[in-house]
Structure 1
Amino acid sequence: MTYCVGLLLNEGMVCLSDTRTNAGLDNISTYRKMFVFENPGERVFIIMTAGSLSVTQTTIARLHEAMDAPDATAETSVMLAPTMLAVAELVGNTLAAVRAEIDEKLAQSQGASASMIVAGQRRGGGMRMFLIYPQGNFIEATDDTPFLQIGEHKYGKPILDRVVQPGTSLADAQKAVLLSMDSTLRSNLSVGMPLDLAVIRRDSFTVERRRIEAGDPQFRAMSDAWSNALREGFSRIAL
């Protein structure tokens, strides 16, 4: 499994994903779940994936193939699509088509499922973030719900519910998603290091990226501080 989270804020967007893929307790691998599509100064967006690796990898590969095709158009290429909504529709249609094909091949089993988060901005448009379901339909992040999650999201949701608002700073947003991931790492073995962190500042049309490896001292210090704060807060609450 995996855990991916995206925040849509006034200052920009923050995305975080783990890299663990497991097909049983003795078959654990590391695969990137965050993919960046960037034309600096013009458009930038991130796709994060969760679910069947065969579905997500094939979907990403087909998106790249369509981008590189000599006859690429705004209807076929995410890098030519006129709006972020059109990007989400293209990704959703591709995901649904790939899932249907793989489900047909796996008809004798339970089939394959995957979901994605698409977040980005193009010049002349606002920042937008979408959660795309396996069937290709999607929902959009709003001021009322400024974050989206896929994968093993339940462990990391409480802190986001309590602290994330559209006015949250990008610095605090990075802290929030990292602590959300830390809670998930502690509670679910199907989520694991390393982590991929990305920040898109409003109207920058570029991505700031960071790979956080196991044993990263900054992440470890944040995790320890969070654990201590929780224990201290718990001890101060009267029954």
Structure 2
Amino acid sequence: MGCRASLFSLAAAVTSLQAVSAAAVDPRDAPALIRWEGPVFAGERDKTLYVTDVGDLWNKVLDMNPQWVAEVADLDETNHEFGVPSVCGADSGIATGNSDEVTHILTRLRALKGYWTLGAGRCHRLGCGQNTGVYWCNDNAWGIRTSAKALYLRGSHIRDICCHRRDGSLYSGDPMSGVEAFPDNDPEAAHSRVAVGYGSCVDNNAVLPLVYTFPGKLGACRA
């Protein structure tokens, strides 16, 4: 019952996102900043920064502290069942991005540690490169806050199960897209979701992922 309820909730979220996207304003007209709180100097209190995305944050942190050391993700972090299935490829409705760039963005997101805050009813593109984006969308009527690690795990789970070929592999640079919701009982980020897929980096970071409809410029998932 719990799995079926989760599938229904995620399908409803995708439908809701599609409806909002259809009425979306020009992405360049939307607000562009998102809040991050995290460690910059060892042994000091966390800093609060307003940035466009993880690339912007990466540069700002290194400018403040050139000796800053990235946190390397544990490969075992993603090897467990989340309980909220991902919706992949054509079922997600999101145009595909480059699988290698998805990994690159997610790795930076995890390395920067800290916590991200997203405003009510907003989507924000957390990272972009090579026509690929990683997004976080909030269905709540209030702002939410969650860890970089939690966002990384959702995005990694999409990457690890979506758009793989029939032999189960995902080749370097394969096109891929997908969306996964946080569980309804998540204490921080319930009724929000992470999406990966196409991203036009010249568009504002508040662009909705479903503005770019499947399959998009990079084509459908490989068979």
- Structure (1 or 2) with the greater strand fraction: 1
TM-score normalised by L of structure 2:
0.29
Larger gyration radius, structure 1 or structure 2: 1
